[in-house]
Amino acid sequence: MTKNDCFFFGKITKTHGLKGEVTIKIDVANPEDFTELRYLLVEEKAGLIPYFVENQKISGDKMFVQLQDVKKVEQAVAFIGKAVFLPNEMMPELEEDEFYYSEIVGFRLIDAEKGEIGQISDVLEYPTQAVIQVMKDGKEILIPIHDDIIEKVDKKAKALNIKAPEGLIDMYLNM
């Protein structure tokens, strides 16, 4: 299974307890949708490696996981800092006006005032705000992901319609 067949679930941040459990910082909207995982895909140099889950507990945006065959803290330490993925088919369905960041990459970004800005190249997640990245005429434009800015998500047409704050797009293009 490749990354294209999966979505980013979170990152292993530290060990938990004395029996080889790990703590995963979950990066999903509703962690409670994932209370009964049978396995996780951990990113290794060789690719995504499946690990069976023996036990798990969710607390807020953290998941404490006991992986099969990992019984000592010394074994669990090797997982710290590794990304965790799940197959796309495990991704919960969203409402029509909702989207996963990964699914809008490649969408056309259309502003109510400026028209088509370009193709979304990435979604960057900063500690305080996620932003849409678009390249136009060799210049980077960053648009905050916020309900007041996003007007419509058209998944069939692969388009995201926005109403950018006044002057925001011009600020990037006139730099």
Measured distance CA(150)–CA(99) in Å, rounded: 11
The tokens for 44 are 């290794």
What is the tens place of the pLDDT at every residue in 122-151?
999 887 888 999 999 899 999 999 999 999
Rounded to 10 degrees, what is the CA torsion of 11, 15, 21, 24? -20
Q: What percent of the chain has pLDDT over 90?
A: 73
Over range 2-30, report the average pLDDT: 91
Rounded-to-integer distance, Cα 2 and Cα 95, Å: 26
What pLDDT is attached to residue 175? 78
The whole-number pLDDT of residue 4 equals 80
Global pTM?
A: 0.64
Q: How high is the pLDDT of residue 125?
A: 82
What sign has the CA pseudo-torsion 134, 131, 154, 164? Answer: negative
Residue-wise pLDDT tens digits, 54-64: 999 999 999 99
Closest CA to 41 of 51, 31, 32: 51
Confidence band of 16 (pLDDT split at 50, 70, 90): very high
pLDDT score, position 14: 97
- Which secondary structure element, helix H or strand E, spans residue 102, and what is its range? helix 101-104
Asked if pLDDT for residue 167 goes beyond 80, the answer is yes
Question: Residue 126 has what pLDDT?
Answer: 80
Q: Which residue, 157, 99, 154, 156, is CA-closest to 132?
A: 99
What element of type H or E holds 74? helix 73-76
Dist. CA 170–CA 97, nearest whole Å: 27
Strands 159-162 and 108-111: parallel
CB atoms within 10 A of CB 38: 10
pLDDT score recorded for residue 129: 87
Residues 4, 100: Cα–Cα separation, whole Å? 14
Residue 33 makes CB contacts below 8 A (sequence gap 6+) with 92
> pLDDT band at residue 29, thresholds of 50, 70 and 90?
confident
Average pLDDT rounded to a whole number, residues 49-76: 95
